[in-house]
Amino acid sequence: MLKPIKIKEDLYYIGVNDRTRHLFENLWPLPKGVSYNSYLLVDEKTVLFDTVDICYSDIYFQKLEIALDGRSLDYLVINHMEPDHSGSLGLLRSKYPNVQIVGNKRTADMVKGYFNITEGVRIIEDGEELTLGKHKLVFYLTPMVHWPETMMTYDVTDKTIFSGDAFGTFGTLDGGITDTQLHPERYYDEMIRYYSNIVGKFGSPVQKALEKLSTLEIATICSTHGPVWTQEDQIKKVVSIYNKLSRYEGDEGVVIAYGSMYGNTEQMAEAIAYELAEQGIKEIILHNVSKRSHSYIIRDIFKYKGLIVGSPTYNNKLYPEVEYLLSKVEGREMKNRYFGYFGSFTWAGAAVKRLAQFAEDTKFEVIGAPVEMKQAMFNETYEACVALGKAMAERLKQDR
């Protein structure tokens, strides 16, 4: 029987690990799995922060029962209603019928909509307090990080923020729960991938949430995914990651994302990459959209300022995987990117024209002249690719 893990006096980790699911939200690959984190605070009153995916409710309730040690459960604070965190709510109410559910008005609407629960629901306002005995909680509404009901709960006594999905990462917790028990570096890229794919569109609400938290002294961050952050340098690190990503600030580097059926468009991507390197750009990432999950491509587009996209014409449109990728990028309403593009065709060209429309729609800064190749690469096309790579490098170096 798995037991709860004591994080600090009065606070227990009772989350679970999912090493079975292949896709998060049935979209994003989980090669390293994911954790669903829940926490129990034991005081004169007991309070549970979020639940877990219903698939793991049996293990979860075993841990909760042990942590309660015969006591009743007084409160369930819901920071986020997404089913990977609220999925066990209905079963929890059945096991603990007197538990009071705490959330904001939007939370209450979703509790009713998902579980038809209307009794025993306490609706709180932004900044409202709840005293448990020694511990005092303050609730901060953080809508659209990344659902409209999301909020965070701050334990004034222990300076702990229960942050919902914010500051979370993909990846299971393989033994260690806190950042002192593991190598935090292995989670940074997965945090960026999590943010860019799940939260990415909502930069402005994230900035508002960070501003709200900036007045708090935070000693511990308890997210609903990934490690518990307890070290001062790690807390600064993960907050800075969210701050940078939500401002859409990229590092110097270029993502070249391309589709290619028979290798001709890929040769154009290679030529551009060679020139970028010649010009001193070291962070160059080439992604074949047919081979690499869009999840990782989107992560890298969030990481770097430069984006160059290439596509063959396919059925008088963009190559399908390129079109699908661009729809995801556009849906995240990214800003502050330098954009170049290229395409190829055999008898009728359409890809470059459609990439031009994407640039106009996103309002990315277009760099260099687009390159369009008919059939195979010869010297004129090669030189045009070189010129595009050079133009992108020069634009990036202006920001040094």
| Average pLDDT for 267-278 | 98
pLDDT at site 141: 98
Q: pTM for the whole thing?
A: 0.95
Residues 327-347 have a mean pLDDT of 95
CA 341 to chain centre: 27
CB 42 within 8 A of CB 50: no
Report the chain's mean pLDDT, rounded to a whole number: 96
By residue count, the chain amounts to 400
pLDDT in tens, 17-74: 999 999 999 999 999 999 999 999 999 999 999 999 999 999 999 999 999 999 999 9
What is the pLDDT, as a whole number, of residue 2? 86
Eight-state DSSP code of residue 123: E
Model pLDDT, residue 223? 98
Per-residue pLDDT, 153: 98
The reported pLDDT for the residue numbered 349 is: 85
Helix axes 294-303, 185-194, angle to 10 degrees: 100
Angle between helix 320-331 and helix 294-303 axes, rounded to 10 deg: 50
Cα 369 → chain centroid? 33
DSSP 42-57: ESSSEEEE----GGGH
- One-letter amino acid for residue 154 of the chain: Y
Mean local confidence (pLDDT), 174-197: 96
Looking at residue 250, what DSSP letter applies?
P
Q: Which amino acid is at 338?
A: Y
Model pLDDT for residues 299-329, shown as the tens digit of each residue: 999 999 999 999 999 999 999 999 999 999 9
Instruction: List, for residues 341-395, the tens digit of each pLDDT value.
Output: 999 988 988 999 999 999 999 999 999 999 999 998 999 999 999 999 999 999 9
DSSP string covering 16-74? EEE-S-SEETTTEE-TT-EEE--EEEESSSEEEE----GGGHHHHHHHHHHHHTTPPP-
Query: pLDDT, tens digit, for every residue of 96-137?
Result: 999 999 999 999 999 999 999 999 999 999 999 999 999 999
**Is pLDDT above 80 for 185?**
yes
Residue 275 pLDDT grade (very low, low, confident, very high; cuts 50, 70, 90) = very high
Q: What is the percent of the chain with per-residue pLDDT over 90, rounded to a whole number? A: 98
Please determine, for residue 279, whether its predicted confidence score (pLDDT) is greater than 80.
yes
Rounded mean pLDDT, 234-259? 97
